A = this chain, B = another copy of it.
Amino acid sequence: MRPVALVAIGALAACQMMTAAAETPADREAEILKTATSLANAGTWDNVGLQFVEDLTTEIGPRLAGSPDEKRARDWAVAELTEMGFANVHVEDFTVPYWKRTHETARVVGASAQPLIITALGGSAPTPEGGLEADIVRFELLADMLAADDVDVAGKIVFIDEYMTRTQTGAGYGLAVAKRAACPKAAAAKGAVACLIRSVGTDHFRRPHTGGIDRRGPDGVAKPMGPIPAAALSAPDGDQLARLLERGPVTVNLDIGVETADAAPSGNVIAEVEGGANKDEIVLLGCHLDSWDLGTGAIDDGAGCGIVVGAAKLIDQLPGKPDRTIRVVLYGSEEIGLFGGDAYARQHADELDKHVLASESDHGASYIWQFQTKFGEGALDYANKIQGVLARYGVAAGDNLAGGGPDIGVLARSGVPVVTPAQDGWDYFDYHHTPDDTFDKIEPDAFRQNVSVYAAFAYIAAESGWDFRKPADPEE
């Protein structure tokens, strides 16, 4: 399905033509900020980005890293972005260790025989055919399991019942995710036969959250899978298991099947709004194209792709080229360990110093409430000016500690200035990595506010000539 035509191009064009006619630097800056505001206003009624997400999640659906589905998504995105008129649309290939679930069940055996709803964690080892059966040993916290004596864990299925805190920023995730990443290796080292965790999520619904485990081998290199089977219980199933354990020992049969491959094809899809005089300078807008297999990857991260594609398209529809190039990167294989981000940094090592700004949208599609930066100290006034434009869309000023996003973390660490337009994460982890990551969970008005914000700051970054690396003035 084709994106709908953008309205109000005439108004945008008029603004940009006025920009071109401006004479003093202050006039020119004022006109750039005015055009950015017009772009943001256009974003509030834009459907291009939203249609991109709808089409991706409907026509492709789940896009597991390294899978044929992810390949279908790349092909689809190349065709779509080309038809939308972007420049230099292409795929940059790389390979990833591949893991896919084939079946997953768990059931309590004995007097209270009943099913438990689980989902295998990405990188789970398979169980033997027909499942493995063992007693449960429960720990309230990952730390408790790490501190436990081997004898209390050996031969058992470890159950880490740690909760996640709901926060606006999503900061609860960083804490809660530790149990998911660490359990298999740590429990295996103590002789456990499998790991169960309470889902890393903030909801209380009966569909567990998947997500990756640490599957690096002793050499530090990621393998297709970890040492033992590992799965998440939904929150109600975590409650149930805890209640059963209050009544006595509980034995569980866990049956997980997987397919793996040492190397499977993945890739980053790239599309550009080519710049003018300084087209070798890059404003990078990222998202990730892959998703977990349970949902259709709408909030994680089809929305992010729709937001950056929609924003870039708004800028592309201005009559003149922006001064710098806006590069949209739809990263591959983010979910299993930021493979796309690493590949991009490797493949573009020679031009990282030409990346003047980068940002990635990967936290759903709720309203942006804060504009964080990681700029040189001398560039903070630019942050203030951008936030001045965004303020009317409900975006507050943020700190200068932005990470930018998962796939561009590697760019930030190499000195590329980044911004994080922080989205409200209050209910993001109700759906994250579950079957309920579907298109209906995107609130259109909030999504469009994101398009507005990305279009505005990206345009300013591409047109202003500002150096976001600028160090503090030694005179001050």
Contacts and interface: CB of A to CB of B under 8 A. Distances in A.
Most chain B CB inside 10 Å of its own CB: which residue of A206, A239, A436, A438: A206
Interface in A416-458: 434-436, 438-440
A243 B58 contact: yes
A60 interface: yes
A112 B247 CA distance: 47
Contacts of A244: 58-59
A294 B69 CA distance: 30
A296 B204 contact: no
Interface residues of A, number: 35
Interface in A192-239: 204-207, 235-236, 239
A239 B73 CA distance: 20
Contacts of A111: 59
A161 interface: no
Contacts of A207: 205-207, 435
A206 B59 contact: no
A54 interface: yes
Interface in A110-137: 111-115, 117
Given A54-B243, A112-B60, A206 B236 contact: no
A438 B58 contact: no
Contacts of A69: 113-114
B440 A59 contact: no
A435 B118 CA distance: 12
Given A207-B207, A236-B440, A435 B117 contact: yes
Contacts of A66: none
B59 A247 contact: yes
B58 A434 contact: no
A97 interface: no
A404 interface: no
B112 A438 contact: no
10 contacts: A58-B112, A58-B243, A58-B247, A59-B111, A61-B113, A206-B207, A206-B435, A236-B439, A239-B440, A240-B438
A405 interface: no
A206 B430 CA distance: 12
A366 to B, nearest CB: 16
Contacts of A117: 435
Contact of A436 (B1, B206, B295): B206
B59 A112 contact: yes
Contacts of A440: 204, 235-236, 239
Given A1-B246, A61-B115, A207-B207, 16 more contacts: A58-B112, A59-B111, A59-B244, A60-B112, A60-B114, A61-B112, A117-B435, A204-B440, A205-B205, A206-B295, A206-B435, A236-B436, A236-B439, A239-B439, A240-B438, A243-B439
B112 A240 contact: no
A114 B294 CA distance: 10
A240 B61 CA distance: 9
Given A205-B207, A207-B206, A296 B114 contact: yes
A33 to B, nearest CB: 39
